[in-house]
């Protein structure tokens, strides 16, 4: 007999209701296990980069109605619960050591439902290796729109280097080449100005970094800060115009003086030529006025 025939309806209807109820309950249970509430946020105070054996507090912030918070570390089955009626729970870590580093996330529970997990927070321990050095190529002063290279150099070889700007949560990571790594900042803007530090670490200790380098102050200058560009781009003031006028008058005066000197030389030349011609004429006239001397042949004839 078909289960959909009229005769089977009265006996099968309670079973269908029971199956539908069980399916709805199972769906709700699965959703409760997966997390139906909004995700909380997880932050580290004073920050996610903590020196060796220093303390840090992880704060999980949920929503009204939360009565329990849970902190988990990725890769570990252990967790920590805090019962509270507030919107935030604190998870202090009194001393950061290698086994406390790694990625953490938190959840909160309201009534019988757990929330979605928060975004993972990576807790890093610093001061595990000696500090590297940080330098800027070609220099720490960069003109707006130009490129600069921040080079992090260590005394030994590391697989990875990290560049961090003070006041920002994000950081740049780069693979090491020999004992250094270069971080290229292209077409810098005013937002790139600030204090930078770098770290180094090995591949098998991703959350155990070196001590931070000494800070490097990167300064971004506008193109008009260049003295040569500044003079050419700035409009001439009245003082500059006066100076230019004086210089121009001085040049004209020099040209007049040179012209007069040339004219004097020409006049002197003419006078010298006239004197030379006058002297030459006087000598010729003097020679013509002298008596002629008898020749030797005439003198012999007379004897």
pLDDT at 282: 59
Domains delineated in the chain: 41-126 (2.60.40.10), 130-225 (2.60.40.10)
Predicted TM-score (pTM) of the model is: 0.60
pLDDT at 254: 59
pLDDT at 37: 87
Q: Pairing mode, if any, of strands 113-114 and 102-110? A: antiparallel
For residue 52, with 0-12 CB atoms within 10 Å meaning exposed, 13-18 middle and 19 or more buried, which class applies?
A: middle
pLDDT at 42: 97
Single out the residue of 152, 139, 164, 134 nearest to residue 221, CA to CA: 139
Per-residue pLDDT of the chain (303 residues; tens, 9 = 90+): 333 333 344 444 455 455 445 545 444 444 444 456 899 999 999 999 999 999 999 999 998 889 999 999 999 888 999 998 889 999 999 999 999 999 999 999 998 899 999 999 999 999 999 999 999 999 999 999 999 999 999 999 999 999 999 988 889 999 998 899 999 999 999 999 999 999 999 999 999 999 999 999 999 999 775 554 333 333 333 334 433 443 454 455 556 667 767 777 787 778 777 776 776 665 566 555 545 545 444 444 443
* DSSP state, residue 225: G
Residue 190 sits at φ, ψ, to 5 deg, of: -60, -25
pLDDT at 281: 64
Hey, what are 216's tokens? 């490097």
Hey, what are 116's tokens? 């979605």
pLDDT at 160: 97
Beta strands in the chain (DSSP E): 41-45, 49-51, 56-61, 68-73, 79-83, 88-93, 102-110, 113-114, 121-129, 133-137, 141-143, 148-153, 160-165, 171-175, 180-185, 194-201, 208-210, 216-221
| 87 vs 93: CA distance, rounded Å | 20
- Tokens 């988990």, located at residue: 72
């Amino acid at each position: 007999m078909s289960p959909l025939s009229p005769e089977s309806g009265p006996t099968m209807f309670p079973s269908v209701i029971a199956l539908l109820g069980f399916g709805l309950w199972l769906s709700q249970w699965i959703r409760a296990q997966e997390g139906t509430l909004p995700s909380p946020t997880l932050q580290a105070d004073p920050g996610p980069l903590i020196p060796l054996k220093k303390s840090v507090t992880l704060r999980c912030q949920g929503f009204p109605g939360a009565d329990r918070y849970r902190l988990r570390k990725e890769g570990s089955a252990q967790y920590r619960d805090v019962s509270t009626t507030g919107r935030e729970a604190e998870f202090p870590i009194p001393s950061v050591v290698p086994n406390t580093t790694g990625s953490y996330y938190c959840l909160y529970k309201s009534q019988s439902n757990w929330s979605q997990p928060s975004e993972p927070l990576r807790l890093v321990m610093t001061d595990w290796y000696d500090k590297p050095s940080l330098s800027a190529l070609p220099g720490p002063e960069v003109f707006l729109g130009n490129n600069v290279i921040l080079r992090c150099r260590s005394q030994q070889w590391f697989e990875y280097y990290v560049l961090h700007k003070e006041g920002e949560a994000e950081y740049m990571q780069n693979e090491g080449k020999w004992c250094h790594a270069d971080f290229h900042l292209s077409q810098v803007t005013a937002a790139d100005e600030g204090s930078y530090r770098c770290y180094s670490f090995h591949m098998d200790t991703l959350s155990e970094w070196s001590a931070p380098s000494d800070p490097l102050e990167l300064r971004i200058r506008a193109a008009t800060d260049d003295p040569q560009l500044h003079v050419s781009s700035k409009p001439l003031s009245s003082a500059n115009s006066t100076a230019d006028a004086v210089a121009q008058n001085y040049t004209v005066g020099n040209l007049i003086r040179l012209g007069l000197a040339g004219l004097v030389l020409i006049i002197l030349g003419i006078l010298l030529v006239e004197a030379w011609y006058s002297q030459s004429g006087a000598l010729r006239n003097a020679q013509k006025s002298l008596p002629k001397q008898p020749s030797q042949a005439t003198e012999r004839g007379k004897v």
